[in-house]
Amino acid sequence: MILPAKSISSKSSSLRHTCAVIGGGIAGLSCAHHLSDSFAVTLFDTGRLRPGGRASSRLPGDPAKKDDLGEHHHISKCVVDHAAQVLFVPDHEARFAEFSRQVKDWERIGVVTRFPEGSLYNIYSRSSTKKCIELEPFVGQPAYFGSSTMGIASISNALAETSNFEIQQNVWVSPSNGARYMPKTRQWKVTASGKVLGYFDRLIVAHNGKCADRLMSKTPAKAIHDLLRVNFAPSVPQHGGKRMTLNSIYSLTIALPKNSAIAACLPANFLGGFIQNDKALRFLSCQSRKYESMEKDVEIWTILSSSNFAKSHKAPQEFLPNEVVEEVTLLLIEALESLFGVTVGSIKPIERRLQLWGAGVPLNTWENGKGFLYDAESAVGVCGDWLLDSSIAGAWTSGRLLADHLKTKEAVSAGFDGTFVASQGASNTGIAAINEKFR
């Protein structure tokens, strides 16, 4: 079932305590999902069509934005993952055992599909003796992609569809004063566009970046605000740094003829690959091979940039200037041509769509032994991958752990004693926390 654009009716309004979750990524959805058996939960998400955050997809039939003037006749016929291209199951720590069981259940019911053997690769630039790139099968760490009809968004859809909480879609809770703590009633007042959305006994911040920083800056939850303060950079010190650090990533989706220069250098079963030694590129995926497509003579490819490249070509995320779109698109295609060793100008997209993820992947995580933050005095908690592991697994688990904590009889303050630790997997790939032993 595809979620309606605005909301899902809640069946839990008669429950005693109310909770607002701000942020509809995997962490927020997981927290709401696991909390909704004990609280009346309302989740507020900025997504125009459906929740998911970085684990979201464009689906055939999705209406275009009003300011999207580009023609995407071919791209719009295929499921396209926005940012997250691969779901990994960390198998090295007991704290992800519950997530591993969840993924097995998702696989059983068709929410996710495991990458077939020999379809996911490490990609290396061609050597002097090779005409094309060199491929090394990615083995060892379980890896999945989404369902054929919804892509990676099938995960967020599954969390929402099987839960008993309300979703208010396309809602922007103002970072300036959208969440205000009312000391007399010990409740949180949540507003958007000048309209009061409700009063809640608990507040969950399930996103990060500048907006989350500002959202908590004028509240009494000072310890939470201190940890939500954020840097944007392509790397962190080996010691982890002193503040949450997020990178930026460009995502370029292009439509190419099926006999393109890319296809000529790759096996027919290629679905995706981590680009290991290129300054501009980090990941390449064929969406029309992963998912259902109505196109027979066209393939849809997505290229994810390195964080250094995105930093060098930084622009307003929501309103990319046309000149930046043209320049970045050209540079990424030229980098792809260089990687594959083909003639400049030989990769000619029929269509292209560029997106910038300004608040990309956490390059460090707050290691506190909890996986979440909770301020009992102000009744506000925080969950997210930056509190556990820079991955979908980290986001889902953080949300679950915070929900479990809130359901205890006396939910005390927790999670503030810790330190930032560099995420080696996220730092190395720029897009995902991959166990070092599997690279």
pLDDT score at 244: 96
Domains and CATH numbers, the chain: 7-54+155-235+364-438 (3.50.50.60), 70-151+249-357 (3.90.660.10)
The Cα–Cα gap between 104 and 140 comes to 16
pLDDT tens sequence across 32-64: 999 999 999 999 999 888 999 999 999 998 887
Amino acid at 386: W
User: Which of 324, 320, 330 is CA-nearest to residue 352?
Assistant: 330
**If pLDDT is split at 50, 70 and 90, which confidence band does 145 have?**
very high
Element (H, E) at 312: helix 307-312
Dihedral sign for Cα atoms in the order 356, 394, 188, 190: positive
Using CA atoms, how far residue 264 sits from 131, 257, 340, 346, 347, in Å, is: 11, 11, 10, 12, 11
Is residue 30 exposed (0-12), middle (13-18) or buried (19+ Cβ within 10 Å)? buried
Element (H, E) at 330: helix 322-340
Q: Which residues contact 135 (CB under 8 A, 6 or more apart)?
A: 121, 122, 123, 124, 266, 267, 270, 273
**What stretches of 95-249 show up as alpha helix (H) in DSSP?**
97-109, 153-161, 210-217, 222-228
Q: How many whole angstroms from its chain centre is CA 175? A: 20
Q: Is 268 helix (H, G, I), strand (E, B) or coil?
A: coil
Instruction: Report yes or no: 88 and 396 within 8 Å, Cβ to Cβ.
Output: no
pLDDT score at 139: 82
Instruction: Report yes or no: 58 and 74 within 8 Å, Cβ to Cβ.
Output: no
> What is the reported pTM?
0.92
Which tops the pLDDT comparison, 118 or 296? 118
Beta bridge partners of 252: 303, 354
Q: Is 380 helix (H, G, I), strand (E, B) or coil?
A: strand
pLDDT score at 66: 65
Instruction: Report yes or no: 126 and 332 within 8 Å, Cβ to Cβ.
Output: no
Confidence check: pLDDT of 323 > 60: yes
Q: Is 12 helix (H, G, I), strand (E, B) or coil?
A: coil
Using CA atoms, how far residue 351 sits from 277, 296, 305, 405, in Å, is: 27, 15, 18, 48
Which tops the pLDDT comparison, 410 or 331? 331
pLDDT score at 129: 58
Which tops the pLDDT comparison, 437 or 127? 127
Pair of tokens at residue 344: 């400049």
The whole-number average pLDDT for the span 291-305 is 90
pLDDT tens sequence across 246-262: 999 999 999 999 989 89
Confidence check: pLDDT of 31 > 50: yes
The whole-number average pLDDT for the span 63-81 is 79
**If pLDDT is split at 50, 70 and 90, which confidence band does 90 have?**
confident
Give exposure, 169-183, as e/b (b: 16+ Cβ within 10 Å).
bebebebeebbebee
Give exposure, 309-346, as e/b (b: 16+ Cβ within 10 Å).
bbbebebeeeebeeebbeebbebbbebbbbbbebeeee
pLDDT tens sequence across 354-381: 999 988 899 999 999 999 999 999 999 9
The Cα–Cα gap between 370 and 80 comes to 34
Element (H, E) at 335: helix 322-340
Using CA atoms, how far residue 415 sits from 185, 333, 411, in Å, is: 25, 44, 12
pLDDT score at 68: 60
**If pLDDT is split at 50, 70 and 90, which confidence band does 438 have?**
very low
Q: Which residue has the tokens 């296809």?
A: 263
The Cα–Cα gap between 27 and 392 comes to 8
**If pLDDT is split at 50, 70 and 90, which confidence band does 123 have?**
very high
Pair of tokens at residue 379: 């009744």
User: Which of 419, 278, 426, 316 is CA-nearest to residue 360?
Assistant: 426
The Cα–Cα gap between 159 and 412 comes to 27
